[in-house]
Amino acid sequence: MISQPAQVARSVPTAQRADWYDNAAVATVIVLCLAATAWMRPLMLPDEGRYVGVAWEMLRSGDWLVPTLNGLPFFHKPPLFYWITAGSMSLFGLHEVAARAAPLFGATLGAFSIYLFTRRWSGERAARFTLVALLAQPFFYLGGQFANLDMLVAGCITATIVLLAHAALCLDRGLPYQRALAAAYAMAALGVLAKGLIGFLIPALVVAAWLLARQRPRVLLALVWWPGLLLFGLLAVPWFVLMQLRFPDFLDYFFVVQHFQRFVAGGFNNEQPLWFFPAVLLLLSLPWLPWLIGAFKRTDVHSQERDPVRLLMGLWIVIVVVFFSMPKSKLLGYVLPAVPPLAYLIAEAFLRFGAPSLRAKRLWLAGAGFAVALSLAVSIALALHTPRSSRELASTLATQRGVHDPVFMLDRYYYDVPLYARLFRPVQVVDDWASTDLQNHDNWRKELADAGHFSAARATRALINPAAFPAAVCAAPVSWVIGPATARSQYPFLVAATVAFDQRDTMLWRIDTGRPGVVRALGCKGNQHAASAEE
């Protein structure tokens, strides 16, 4: 017969194992749901092609420290996305699901962390309904399959906020909190490596506002913890120091130009009015509109002490929306960190009914079903018609190109071609790189020109002017040129080239300098390939 203390001792690890299995099951469900349609469509231009292309260059070059775009140092963003993506492609192969590992990780991290936090402080039922509302949100679901940095940093921000809030609530109740606080600092460091200063700034603003609203300044001060600051520095700082030592202009470009100037100045992509993000969140949450209305009807400020979690979620949404509404440039993904707390408020509004009526349950199921159907419909539509993709052109290039044949791109950089065509060397991009207009437009030209400033020698080889283009083609037996159909008017020798691919006014030409007609059109006199052709 087992004594009562022994039974208790055995029940604790048993409960811990059961809890671990439950958590593992929930995490697995999250991953499977988010990745279910990630394989269906090619990478979209420009964002997915750009960021996955940088990861591909990291993988092919073996240089995991310096991100490069067409072989040129590319410092628009920190390296975490590239590390995750390159690691995923090296383990699982060069396909779309592996290329989308970073946003899938970010979405899983955000969903799982808010699930655990809600379960601990609001109960199992609230956690499960929050998770359903989040995963069935088309904005969140599709963002978890879009290979740019927004979902990755959103997941890090979400995890950091809930870890800080968990530590604060534990500290408030005299419970152990240091492990959660250390994890929060580590997660903030990952947020910085994901997309820069917002990785710790947004969580700091949210948690500080929450604790001050609850009149907990002492708890706020206790969260400023020197072991956590040390851990943050050890994780976040070394890469920035290494880049500054190697490239003296790095810190000025990364923080002053890419952070502060983009935040306060105009002239960047997608300028929108102040009401843009509130309208976006409302529009993209339409399936849950009845519960959104219910959530924001309840504005009882006296309930903040009784329900600190709800106050946290409300302030979280407001601060994220206000922060990203201040700059003129606004992209949809910026506001993704506001979606997890919005899902909590949706679930909380539904559960506030206690035992919801049959009508309320049907309304909830209808909203969830419509949201899931919308996510699937958009995924299928993008798979059937992806206008911003060069996958088919790149596949043609990969099957017909010789290993040493140079590739040229005219008047545009096709971000996804190097990955899909398995190019192991930078291409040569033809444009007027001496133009004074390069810095006036936030586009691919400015990206490559900025990257070229960090390595003038590489830029000389990768970025060529139109006048040098014919001679560069003459230097190789066979060259491949990608560009718009209209390029034939600027470069008449393309008329004599072989068209290997033509789709939506984008063409792939094969130029063989062994053909007399091509030689004459190019004017390759004195070139060894021209000589052999004339013989």
535 residues of the chain, pLDDT tens digit each:
334 444 444 455 666 677 888 899 999 999 999 999 999 999 999 999 999 999 999 999 999 999 999 999 999 999 999 999 999 999 999 999 999 999 999 999 999 999 999 999 999 999 999 999 999 999 999 999 999 999 999 999 999 999 999 999 999 999 999 999 999 999 999 999 999 999 999 999 999 999 999 999 999 999 999 999 999 999 999 999 999 999 999 999 999 888 777 766 655 567 788 888 898 888 888 778 777 776 666 555 445 455 899 999 999 999 999 999 988 888 889 999 999 999 999 998 888 765 667 777 888 888 888 889 999 999 999 988 877 899 999 999 999 999 999 999 999 999 999 999 999 999 999 999 988 877 777 789 999 999 999 999 999 999 999 999 999 999 999 999 999 999 999 999 999 899 999 987 899 999 998 888 888 888 886 544 544 444 3
User: Residues 498, 503, 507, CA angle at the centre, nearest 5°?
Assistant: 35
The span from the CA of 461 to the CA of 293, in Å, is 58
Burial of 110 (0-12, 13-18, 19+ CB in 10 A): buried
Q: Nearest 10 degrees: CA dihedral of 22, 28, 34, 39?
A: -170
- Are the C-beta atoms of residues 91 and 99 closer than 8 Å to each other? no
Tell me if 511 sits within 8 A of 518, measured CB to CB. Answer: yes
Contact between 168 and 313 under an 8 Å Cβ cutoff? The reply is no
Peptide bond into 238 cis (omega under 30): no
Q: What is the pLDDT of residue 105?
A: 98
CB 493 within 8 A of CB 518: yes
Answer yes or no: are the C-beta atoms of 150 and 336 closer than 8 Å. yes
- Tell me, what's the pLDDT at 301? 45
DSSP state, residue 271: B
Determine the pLDDT at residue 262: 72
At residue 13, the pLDDT reads 64
Measured over the CA atoms of residue 44, residue 45, residue 46 and residue 48, the dihedral's sign is: positive
- Helix 124-135 and helix 4-35: axis angle, to 10°? 10
Nearest Cα neighbor of 462 from 62, 453, 404 is: 453
Q: In this predicted model, what pLDDT tens digit does every residue of 103-152 receive, in sequence order?
A: 999 999 999 999 999 999 999 999 999 999 999 999 999 999 999 999 99
Q: Are strands 428-430 and 463-464 parallel, antiparallel or unpaired?
A: parallel
Which of 161, 155, 147 shows the shortest CA–CA distance to 81? Answer: 147
DSSP 3-state assignment of 478? strand
Spatial neighbors of 43 by CB under 8 A, at least 6 apart, are 49, 52, 96, 99, 147, 389, 391, 416, 419, 420
Residue 253 CB: number of other CB atoms within 10 A? Answer: 19
Residues 308 and 169: beta-carbon distance below 8 Å: yes
In whole angstroms, give the CA distance from residue 207 to residue 201: 10
- Of 527, 529, 464, nearest to 491 by C-alpha is 464
Buried/exposed code over 82-109 (b: 16+ C-beta within 10 A; e: otherwise): bbbbbbbbeeeeeebbbbbbbbbbbbbb
pLDDT score for 4? 46
Residue 506: C-alpha distances to residues 419, 444, 483 (Å): 18, 17, 6
Task: Identify the pLDDT of residue 355.
Answer: 61
To 10 degrees, the CA torsion angle through 44, 49, 50, 53? 160
Question: Tokens for 338?
Answer: 């506001």
- At residue 294, the pLDDT reads 67
